[in-house]
Amino acid sequence: MRKYRVLSVAGALVALAAAPRGSHAVEPCSSPEACAKVDVGVSAADPLKPGDTFAATVSFTQGADDAQAGGIDNIAAIALTLGMPGGGSGNPPIELADCTLNEAGLPASVTPDPAISNFFLVVENASCANGKTHCLCPDAGQTKDDFINLVVYGPNPLPTPGSNVSIPTLPAGPQSLVSLSLKVAASANGQIPLRVYNRVANTSTPQYTAFLSVGDTQAVDQTCGPQTPPCGSDTSVSEVVVTGNSVNVAGAPCTGDCNGDGQVAVNELIVMVNISLEQQPTSNCPIADKNGDGAVTITEIITAVNYALTQCPTQ
């Protein structure tokens, strides 16, 4: 059992950091009521506007009881990537609302559910520490990720070396595992997906992301069957039903239209200048930072002045 803890967690983290490769086609779960489930939920106004925040959850449900040790009804660890693509490299349409890291290394926007207090929740790409070139919360010009790499495993706390280890199963569910406070980027527009990359819906994944993977208390990968190799043959069938979600973002206002009324006023230009001089935070006018790089440049101010003298373009 100790071997499972070491191998499963290390393997999940390595998989999330590795470059993706192609995959065999995997058939959807043939009996959805018997399979485990991963669901992405969203609580948001419709439509959202650039700068708005909203809540998203990742929930899990164990599969049907198979009266066996381990199996799809005894899932003990999950690794997944929640993708939020659409803004191009380094310019994600959705980002964490608060990147402040706590003692556990989790951003303030990431809250594990109390029901999994005996599990660890890891956000593998939270920060750009240790020389990372990309992450969710860049601090020195690194690339901002448009995905969240999550790993859930137990037990928490870890037992002392040499003691007996009992690997806990996740709640039967449906059960929220983690809540996310997310923010719409200034340049976002249209329908933005929130999806868990998995082998039924995707034949490959973007760089630095991974397919959904689940493991049971017996150290068996239960993501697909037949289990040898899991998800790696032409007869693979998913053991997990994955349901994604999306948010709708209204046409982004033009640069400098802080209140979204369709025009740029003089007071809004002043706000932009103050942000550029670091006298005010970008949150006072998110659309002032049109390219989402965390600063208001002279180019963005000139663009806003032109809109103030003419009119905002029709979105």
Residue where a domain stops, chosen among 230, 249, 268: 249
Cα gap 153→151, rounded to integer Å: 7
Do residue 107 and residue 231 come from a single domain?
A: yes
What tens digit of pLDDT does each residue of 13-62 get? 434 434 344 556 799 999 999 999 999 999 988 889 888 999 999 999 99
Predicted model pTM: 0.78
Q: Which of 283, 297, 264, 284 is nearest to 95 (CA)?
A: 283
- Kindly state whether residues 134 and 185 are assigned to the same domain: yes
| 167/56 same-domain check | yes
Mean pLDDT computed over 64-93 = 90
Residues 295 and 245 in one domain: no
Residue 164 shares a structural domain with residue 86: yes
CATH number at residue 287: 1.10.1330.10
For a pLDDT cut of 90, what percent of the chain falls above it?
59
User: Same domain for 138 and 75?
Assistant: yes
Residue 258 shares a structural domain with residue 302: yes
Minimum mean pLDDT range among 4-18, 20-34, 115-129, 141-155: 4-18
In degrees rounded to 5, what are phi and psi of residue 10?
-60, -40
Which range has the worst mean pLDDT, 4-18, 51-65, 108-122? Answer: 4-18
Please count the structural domains in the chain: 2
pLDDT score, position 30: 92
271 and 135 in a single domain? The answer is no
CATH number at residue 46: 2.60.40.680
As given in the structure block, the two tokens for residue 234 are: 């032409």
More confident residue, 310 or 290: 310
Average pLDDT of the chain? 87
- Verify that 172 and 260 share a domain, yes or no: no
**How far apart are the C-alpha atoms of 88 and 189, rounded to whole Å?**
12
The CA dihedral of 253, 254, 256, 259, to the nearest 10 degrees, is -20
200 pLDDT band, cuts 50/70/90, is very high
CA–CA distance, 108 with 111 (Å, rounded to integer): 7
Angle at 45 between CA 43 and CA 48, to 5 degrees: 115
Q: What token pair was written down for 81?
A: 């990537």
In the DSSP assignment, the letter for residue 236 is: -
User: Looking at residues 281-299, what average pLDDT do you find?
Assistant: 80
* 291 and 150 belong to one structural domain: no
More confident residue, 238 or 91: 238
- Say yes or no: 185 and 291 in one domain: no
- Secondary structure class of 108 (helix, strand, coil): coil
Identify which of 149, 48, 57, 54 has the alpha carbon closest to the alpha carbon of residue 97.
Answer: 54
Name the domain boundary from 249, 269, 294. Answer: 249
Query: Are 51 and 157 contained in the same domain?
Result: yes
In the block, residue with structure tokens 């690194």: 142
Domain boundary (198, 222, 249) is at 249
Boundaries of domain holding 314: 253-315
Query: What is the phi/psi pair of residue 245, to 5°?
Result: -155, -175
Look at 86 and 133; give whichever has higher pLDDT. Answer: 133
Count of positions (residues) in the chain:
315
